Amino acid sequence: MASVLIIDDEPNIRRMVGALLGSEGFEVREAPDGATGVTRATESEPDLVLLDLMIPGLLDGMAVLERLRAAYPDLPVVMMSGRAGLADAVKATRLGAVNFLEKPLSPEGVLLAINSALELRLARRERTALRADLGLAGELVGESPAMHALRAMIARVAPSDARVLITGESGTGKELVASAIHAGSPRRERPFVRVNCAAIPRDLVESEMFGHERGAFTGATDRRLGRFELAHTGTLLLDEVGDLGAEAQAKLLRAIEAKEIERVGGGTPIRVDVRIVAATNRDLERSVRDGQFREDLYFRLNVIPVSVPPLRERPSDIPALVRHFAALQRQRSGQAAPVWTDEAIQYFMRHRWPGNVRELANIVERLSILHAGAPIGLPEVRAVLPLSENGQVGLSPALPDFVQPELTLSDALDEHEKLLISRALSAANGVVAEAARRLNTDRPNLYRRMKRLGLTSLGE
């Protein structure tokens, strides 16, 4: 049963609207002024608030709206007034009201506004749960000095509308940082759209970014909105922006400078209001020097640089990360959580983690599934993270046992190539484009080698 809090100084309004909602099965509470309304909401968060704009007292409707939105960002608030003008309605909407009803109220209008607002609340909750499952909504885990510095930087950057360039190794959590920047910005209730620049075929980059009209090219059977339009009024994350080709870089630069785009096959400019956050694991300064990335685009993107530290620079965060990922796995699977011994955690802290937090998450998930409800000690961890010859945890640089005298040179080279590709895919979480970068080759070449060797990837 959904609960509705009515905040209005007119007893007749509270009584009539309360009776209407009660007959529809809602749980109704009421407050005669703003201060009481805020107190009632604090005592027990309602599912929705009906708020009069012109309530007398120290807190008017706008002040109450601001306090409720600050305390409960996902709480839908429907404003009501019989004397408000267009400017008031616009201001209330900007402060976060989901609807504005004019008095005298009609039963149909009230029920329609309430049901629409409750659907919005449900969608917000589902979005939050989905983002948590995807690892995008959780807090930045860790109390190391590096993580405190990163959180402080996000807090300074997020409220502005400046473009941000997030740099860091693969698997460090750049997308999570981008999500935190969006969540702390005035655009938090607007779309957060991500595009993986490395995963788009070069001949489809323009269509993916800017959309296309029906019939613009073979296979374009319908109009399609690009990522810029989908992110309008919100934030657009250009993930792996360093992988864009020269032509795509030029068109991206124009879109950023002009704040407008054109769909493929369309001749009409479309204005877009988008905050750009870019992320890359490449050294873009070096790419600029090598002529692989446009200098003017680099300067446009790099207004505020944010660097995400690799996991090996914050080993003190590993125990908290292990608990965090184990708890997520328990929520997803319902299996009993394993018991992590101190020896296992210390062993984790000695690993170099070339795949960073993503690699740690994969290892924790694997061990949590294989040893649900059981202790995890050195033997279990060593099975997935062997000790190298130099005393550090990691894959041994020595050639594997398959290099034996009875193997031909060709077979031995194939087996060693298969091992190197498998390790790169594992460190890249199955993403072939990232594995190709680690092996200093291009994706088509890596695909051909994988096909020849009989290798597949679950990441793409």
- Cα 457 from Cα 460, distance rounded (Å): 6
Asked if residue 308 has pLDDT above 90, the reply is yes
What does the mean pLDDT of the chain come to?
Answer: 85
Q: Which residue has the higher pLDDT, 85 or 118?
A: 118
16: which 2 tokens? 């009539």
Pick the CATH number of 157-308 from 3.40.190.10, 3.40.1440.10, 3.30.1280.10, 3.40.50.300: 3.40.50.300
pLDDT at 439: 84
Output the 3-class SS for 320-355.
Answer: HHHHHHHHHHHHHHCCCCCEECHHHHHHHHHECCCC
Domain extents for the chain?
3-128, 157-308, 312-382, 409-453
Asked if residue 430 has pLDDT above 70, the reply is yes
Asked if residue 117 has pLDDT above 80, the reply is yes
pLDDT in tens, 40-95: 998 888 999 999 998 988 899 999 999 998 888 888 999 998 876 778 888 888 88
| 3-128 and 157-308, same CATH topology | yes
**Rounded to 5 degrees, what are φ and ψ at 190?**
-100, 175
Of the candidates 201, 210, 207, the residue with the CA atom closest to the CA atom of residue 220: 207
Residue range 3-128, CATH number: 3.40.50.2300
Find out whether 7 and 37 touch, Cβ atoms under 8 Å.
yes
Asked if residue 399 has pLDDT above 50, the reply is no
Q: What are 77's strand-pairing partners?
A: 49
In the chain, % of residues over pLDDT 70:
90
Pick the CATH number of 312-382 from 2.70.98.60, 3.40.50.2300, 1.10.8.60, 3.90.1150.60: 1.10.8.60
Ranges 43-47, 75-79, 160-164, 165-169: which has the least confidence: 43-47
Q: How many CB atoms lie within 10 A of CB 239?
A: 20
pTM of the shown model: 0.60
